[in-house]
Amino acid sequence: MAQITLIEGVTLALARAMKDDDSVVLLGEDIGVNGGVFRATAGLQESFGDERVIDTPLAEVMIAGLTVGMAAQGMKPVAEAQFCGFTMPMIDHIMCHAGRMRNRTRGRLSCPMVLRFPSGGGIHAPEHHSESPEALYAHMPGIRVVIPSSPSRAYGLLLAAIRDPDPVIFMEPKRIYRWQREEVIDDGEELPLDVCFTLRDGQDLTLVTWGAMIKETMQAADELEKKGVSVEVIDVATISPLDMDTIIESVERTGRCVIVQEAPRHCGVASEIAANLADAGIFNLLAPVKRVCGYDTVMPLYRNEMKYMPSVRRIVDAANQILEVS
Amino acid sequence: MNVFNLPDLGEGLPDAEIVEWLVEEGDTVELDQPLVSMETAKAVVEVPSPFAGKVAKFHGQAGDVIKTGAPLAEFVAEGDSDDTSEDSTDAASETAIDNSHDEQGIDDTSDDTEIGMDDIADEADEVDEADNLNQADQDDSGSELSDAEDVDLAAFSKRDPGDDKPGDDKPGDNESESLQAAVDSQSEPESSAKPEEETEQASEAQDERADSGTVVGNVQSSNEVLSERTSTVGGVKVTPAVRALARKLKVDVSAVTPSGNGGVVTAGDVRKAADEGSAVASPKPASAPAERSESSKTSPRTDSETSSSNAEPSEPSTSAQTREATASDDWEPIRGTRRTMARVMSESHKNVVPTTLMDDADIHAWRAGEDITARLLRALWAGAQAEPGLNAWYDGENSMRMIHKNMHVGMAVDTADGLFVAALRNVNNADRKALREEINRLRENASNRSIPPEDLKDYTIVLSNFGKFAGRYATPVISPPCVSIVAAGKLRHEVVPILGGVEVHRMIPLSLTFDHRACTGGEAARFLKAMLDDLAKAE
């Protein structure tokens, strides 16, 4: 047992998956010799050789195309994009091929690939490094979207993503790559890809979030609990398919819900969750559903970055607002 | 002494050739003044001076190739003296480190580089942009940027703080402050405002360097250990991961025997329970809204408490509960409207001789938004004008009948408490708007049980609109002393032969039951025909 960070959880899962299954290969820019832009693949080329940990040219479209092709022909490729913004040219391959391979071939082929990339802001990176494009991918049929928020979930969910027979977008919240350490046992145990994780039980209010926003949300929950509010915290973790049952079951008990997302508010995953609550859970709501989100702007650079990101204060304010309603 | 290292002038270019120095050694230059003309593999670029001050030394002449990140020129900043040479040595060695990373990091960060260079080449003279860059490089320096952008931006960080605009660099958040401090304490210790704090923060930043290995940006790290709370579900403890697994496998964790320390349910316990099928979760642990609102603010409950309170038999108090009768396997008395219904229907069945006719009213000619109920009421009156004998009461005991001059229609109103038949008075004389208002009033009164008894009697004919829910035709039951009842089924589209072709028309199916003791079949058929004709009209 070792106490490891989220990114070490990623590395551990990659190593375990490669050890267990010879068809697992990694590819990406500078993932081999250099160990990856955030060192997620550090040491893996030394262990598994340059045929299984492949340094590619700087060509995202090619990486995506290779990955789809390898996956359709029996490999289990795990591609790394260095930043979320660099996945935009890959979308054609993801959406038009990976996501519909099974349907297009009437089940003859599937596409068991994983595309990993760091996402989210808060690390003072330049433009198009800091977005949270989960809603884009969640909108594509046939694609799973998974975002871990702790070292153990990074390990368990990535293993499950690699073993899953369909394409998985694995978005890593880079701001919390090294935020916390956690005991993670390298036992090859995967975590379920289609249920939410309830991190904290409560009676008065449900906070729903995912990815790096877990940090602020848990802090907000602490603050609210100090004032005597009993807060339930749900880490959605698997954005698509979305496990609404867990969220609805929780909100049926608490009657109040605040959804926290780093991505812009308009047409985000938070909106989808709120719409589902309106659909299936409205008779149990005691107050309007609130969304605390980024703004509908380009992710700002450097100095304004933290103003863009939902803060503990904004979450607590939203919670207090609906606690006052009833 | 400030050293200006050659920034990456393109997208990950390893070096550049000096074409021409635009100033002389010993010249005093201003910030952003064109310093040197450099030729890269792509273009000739004028490099602006990142400092204001005196150019002390060139590290190459025209024709020399300078590696990216290597020293290009040295400056004595305004107000600077030679005793800072130690710092510049530090800076140089730092650059060397960066440069060694650079060789690996060039490709992967080319996009970043592009931004940095655009900013420098095009917008360096804009104060705001320069500020942003300055801010950026300070953040970056603290986090060991090893890419090309870092090198070119690093040039700006060596700018004398005295040149900064007042009010510049007041970072709002802690991360920026510590990074700012890290930069200050490394390069300009004597200008530090808060030496102690900054040294401390700088050492933190140094720790970060050891761990991060991050090429772009500043990923915070800490040794804080996460130990996720177990939650108590139905008296047993579970971690979020095990709880999620239980959800996936549809296992009720409260029914699993825990094997972990302190009564914690493990993943193995859940798997075992799933294999054995010993703790199958119910599809959805529903909880009534009313109950939830009472208990939500009180003491914590476990799920087992929730389920036990759910199991309590509900009082037939609210309308929803009345409708969704709870199955109990026990005999229970029927009360109220249900009892009345039973009595009236039995009486009808005992005495009335019911006969039912069915046909479809073609309402193809109607305009959009036509009020179906209003039209049905009008059609009833049209039928009664053709055959008044159906708008009548019949007294079998005395062999008498009363044919009514006016028509009071009993409207069947479905409510949670049962079916009410409310009387709509003088349908033959009322205008459509008044009728609609009256219908709405009756309906509302019926549903909140405030309908006065006089509204529930003395109707002369009955209209039932059961088709709102489902059903095409029916054999509606007459309530004596009335002799007829008309029921409208579900509106539908039907293929109709028209002039040798076919059209699709909207149809309302009608079912007329009449008491054959009081009316003849012919009367009923003519009554129904008159109704169909009236309904076929456009308005």
What pLDDT tens digit does each residue of chain A (326 aa) get?
Answer: 689 999 999 999 999 999 999 999 999 999 999 999 999 999 999 999 999 999 999 999 999 999 999 999 999 999 999 999 999 999 999 999 999 999 999 999 999 999 999 999 998 888 789 999 999 999 999 999 999 999 999 999 999 999 999 999 999 999 999 999 999 999 999 999 999 999 999 999 999 999 999 999 999 999 999 999 999 999 999 999 999 999 999 999 999 999 999 999 999 999 999 999 999 878 889 999 999 999 999 999 878 888 999 999 999 999 999 999 87
Contact B379, B361 (CB under 8 A): yes
SS3 of residue A209 by DSSP: strand
Look up tokens 């509204």; give the residue. Answer: B455
- Sorted by where each begins, the domain ranges of chain A are 2-184, 197-325
How do A24-28 and A76-80 pair as beta strands?
Answer: parallel
Task: Give the DSSP letter string of A234-275.
Answer: EE--EEETT-HHHHHHHHHHH--EEEEEEEESTT-HHHHHHH
The nearest alpha carbon in chain A to B112 belongs to A126
From residue B78, give the alpha-carbon distance in Å to each of B82, B161, B267. Answer: 11, 10, 67
B132 pLDDT band, cuts 50/70/90, is very low
Provide mean pLDDT across the span B106-128: 41
The verdict on A252 touching B (C-beta cutoff 8 Å) is yes
- For CATH 2.40.50.100, the residue range(s) in chain B are 2-212
Cβ count within 10 A of residue A120: 29
From residue A163, give the alpha-carbon distance in Å to each of A80, A143, A189, B43. Answer: 16, 14, 11, 49
Of B136, B176, B289, the CB nearest to A284: B289
Look up tokens 């009955």; give the residue. Answer: B462
Task: Give the DSSP letter string of B344-369.
Answer: HHHHHHHH--EEEEEEEEE-TTPPTT
B92 pLDDT band, cuts 50/70/90, is very low
Q: Is A58 in Cβ contact with B110 (below 8 Å)?
A: yes
Active site residue A128: no
Of B220, B225, B306, the CB nearest to A181: B225
pTM equals 0.51
Q: What is the third-level CATH fold of A197-325?
A: Rossmann fold (3.40.50)
Q: pLDDT at position A238, please?
A: 96
The CATH superfamily label for domain B337-536 reads: Chloramphenicol acetyltransferase-like domain (3.30.559.10)
Provide mean pLDDT across the span B18-27: 87
Separation between Cα atoms, residue B142 and residue A126, nearest integer Å? 15
Q: Is A34 in Cβ contact with B292 (below 8 Å)?
A: no
- Closest-CA distance of chain A to residue B174, Å: 10
What architecture (CATH level 2) is domain B2-212?
Beta Barrel (2.40)
- Phi and psi at residue A128, to the nearest 5°: 45, 30
Cβ count within 10 A of residue A188: 14
Of B11, B73, B23, B19, nearest in space to B45 by CA: B19
SS3 of residue B91 by DSSP: helix
Q: Is B173 in Cβ contact with A255 (below 8 Å)?
A: no
Q: Is B245 in Cβ contact with A255 (below 8 Å)?
A: no
How do B501-515 and B354-362 pair as beta strands?
Answer: antiparallel
Q: Which residues 100-129 of chain B have a CB within 8 Å of chain A? A: 104-105, 107-112, 115-116
Q: What are the residues whose beta carbons fall under 8 Å from the beta carbon of B531, sequence distance 6 or more? A: B361, B379, B380, B382, B383, B486, B510, B512
Q: Which of B151-165, B357-371, B498-512 has the lowest mean pLDDT?
A: B151-165
From residue B429, give the alpha-carbon distance in Å to each of B370, B381, B425. Answer: 19, 10, 9
CB pairs under 8 A between A and B: 178
pLDDT digits (tens, 9 = 90+) for B174-216: 444 444 444 444 444 444 444 444 444 444 444 444 444 556 6
The verdict on B220 touching A (C-beta cutoff 8 Å) is yes
Separation between Cα atoms, residue B100 and residue B108, nearest integer Å? 15
Q: pLDDT at position B282, please?
A: 65
The verdict on A52 touching B (C-beta cutoff 8 Å) is no
pLDDT digits (tens, 9 = 90+) for B384-413: 999 999 999 998 888 888 999 989 999 887
Q: What is the third-level CATH fold of A2-184?
A: Rossmann fold (3.40.50)
Task: Classify residue B335 by its DSSP letter.
Answer: -
The verdict on B171 touching A (C-beta cutoff 8 Å) is yes
- Closest-CA distance of chain B to residue A70, Å: 23
The verdict on B226 touching A (C-beta cutoff 8 Å) is yes
Class of domain B231-283: few secondary structures
Dihedral of the CA atoms B93, B98, B104, B106 (nearest 10)? -130
Task: Classify residue B280 by its DSSP letter.
Answer: B
- For CATH 4.10.320.10, the residue range(s) in chain B are 231-283
Q: Is B287 in Cβ contact with A182 (below 8 Å)?
A: no
Q: Is A35 in Cβ contact with B219 (below 8 Å)?
A: no
**Does the pLDDT at position B490 exceed 80?**
yes
Q: Is B227 in Cβ contact with A30 (below 8 Å)?
A: no
SS3 of residue A111 by DSSP: coil
Q: What are the residues whose beta carbons fall under 8 Å from the beta carbon of A225, sequence distance 6 or more? A: A202, A231
